[in-house]
Structure 1
Amino acid sequence: MARTVITFGTFDVFHVGHLRMIERAAALGERLVVGVSADALNLRKKGREPVFGEDERLAIVAALKVVDEVFLEESLEAKRDYVRQHRADVLVMGDDWKGRFDELADVCEVVYLPRTPAISTTALIEKISGNA
């Protein structure tokens, strides 16, 4: 049976750091499922709306060759449900979340990947808006 990997992110102002994370997650299995944070979830967790709406971000992520399925992530607290629903064998998150999802080790392997150095969506947005 194919090993399914699941990962999550906002993927706003899509950049090479996002691409590398998704590619590294895909390399851990045969099937990659990506949860894209809903606009409302992003507003709750980051205090701002994304630059690109959820439909646009879903389309961008879905267009990547290594992505087999995308869905809208509506709640950070529902990770366990998403893992089960998509029958994921591995949960991959950036290491800025290290330890946050260790309790899911009873239903899947949990892997935290290092972020791509010197790349940040927030920093890009600030640079583009002239606030950097």
Structure 2
Amino acid sequence: MTTVVTYGGTFDLFHIGHVRLLKRLRGLGDRLVVGLSSDEFNSVKNKNAIIPYEDRRENASIFAMGADWIGKFDDLQDVVRVVSLSRTQDVSTTELKTASSEIRNEKNRQIQSLASHLRRLIEKL
């Protein structure tokens, strides 16, 4: 039995790129185990394992990540096969967040402009 382990990431905006990556990762073995970043981990980028190394290493044959993590886990190659898969083209959580932020900012500008216009109208009355 081949177990594939991936440290999947935050998944705060779960999108088709994530779905496709997980399907491809699952295709590498018999079982896929996906890790999820906690808020605390994301904020400090430092993790202390609770499960001893020897207990964890026997559970995985492949450690797989998205290509944006290439080189970050090379030190695991002596005990597990490290695989990096390319991202889904034209799909990015960062881009989704940026677009969402731009839309929100534009709506705020429109509201401020409208409020300013209404204040001028009220002053004329």
What TM-score do you get using the length of structure 1 for normalisation?
Answer: 0.67
Closer/same/farther in 2, CA of residues 121 and 35 from structure 1, 3 Å limit: same
- Counting aligned pairs with the same residue, the percent is 48
Matched, 1:20 2:20: yes
Structure-2 change in CA distance of 1:124 and 1:86 (3 Å):
farther
Q: Number of residues paired by the alignment?
A: 101
Q: Deviations over 1:95-130 (max 9, x none)?
A: 111111111011110000001111111110121232
| Unmatched tracts of structure 1, length 5 or more | 46-73
The correspondence for 2:85, drawn from 84, 105, 113, is: 113
- Partner-residue secondary structure (3-state), 1:84: helix
TM-score by length of 2: 0.70
> What's the CA shift for 1:28?
0.4
Larger radius of gyration between Structure 1 and Structure 2: 2
Distance 1:12 1:82 in 2: 31
Correspondences of 1:35-74 after superposition (within 5 Å): 35-45=35-45
**What letter is aligned with 2:3?**
T
What corresponds to 1:58 in structure 2? Answer: none
1:56 is matched with none
Distance 1:117 1:27, change over 3 A: same
CA contact (8 A) 1:6 1:34 kept: yes
Q: Distance in 2 between matches of 1:114 and 1:97?
A: 10
SS of the residue aligned with 1:22?
A: helix
* Residue 74 of structure 2 is aligned to residue 102 of structure 1: yes
In angstroms, what is the RMSD of aligned CA positions? 2.6
2:100: which partner in 1? 128
Consecutive unaligned residues of structure 2, counting only runs of 5 or more, are: 107-125
